[in-house]
Amino acid sequence: MWPKRISRAPRSASRRPSRRNRNLLSAYTALAGIYVSQNRLDDAIKQYEAAIQKNPKFLAGYMTLGVIHEQKGNGDKAETYYRKVLDLNKDFAPAANNLAWNLSERGKNLDEALGFAQVAKEKMPKSAAVMDTLGWLYYLKGSYLNAVAELQESAAWNPKTRSSFITSEWPTSRALR
């Protein structure tokens, strides 16, 4: 009887890790979500980092770490995580948009940021947040007509975006100068 149990262990054990790892990821993310809701961001970061250790291709973990670091004012770390997401999936529009915004807010390579915003717009053409980012980058680059067009479209899709304030307070005629 003893040898049969031992001989079965490797087969059943070989099936368990994938199920267990999936369950572990959900446990890590559930706990991290609780920590975020309690504004315990450092604890949430630890949970997402542990999840990424279990699954280095855990796209949502990298993305959320980028967002959390952005909230904490750690723009460089947020940039690193957004880039990791794009390494895993170069067309992941939310990461491209967030990276574009991150770079623009820190005054980093605006041409690169514009490229990321354009990728995001191509993948999510009706996203007010993406239009807002793209419009802001056009504004920063001095392309005022493109900026107004994107910001007005963003405001039309979602009147609560920053662009609704900009387009109502910033006269369109200024863009024509």
Domain segments of the chain: what residues? Answer: 1-85, 91-177
User: What's the pLDDT score for residue 2?
Assistant: 38
Per-residue model confidence as pLDDT tens digits over 79-136: 999 999 999 999 999 999 999 999 999 999 999 999 999 999 999 999 999 999 999 9
Calpha distance 131→141 (Å, rounded): 15
Q: Please report the pLDDT score of residue 25 as a whole number.
A: 86
Amino acid found at 130: V
Distance, in Å, from the CA atom of 6 to the CA atom of 167, rounded to the nearest integer, reads 71
In 3D space, the residue among 146, 139, 142 whose CA is nearest the CA of residue 162 turns out to be 139
Q: Which of 84, 16, 14 is nearest to 48 (CA)?
A: 84
Helix (H) or strand (E) holding 75: helix 75-88
Fold adopted by 1-85: 1.25.40
Q: Do the first three CATH levels of 1-85 and 91-177 match, i.e. the same topology?
A: yes
Residue pair 59/88 in contact by the 8 Å Cβ criterion: yes
Model confidence pLDDT, tens digit, residues 134-173: 999 999 999 999 999 999 988 887 766 554 444 444 444 3
| First CA to last CA distance, the chain | 88
Could you confirm whether domain 91-177 is CATH 1.25.40.10? yes
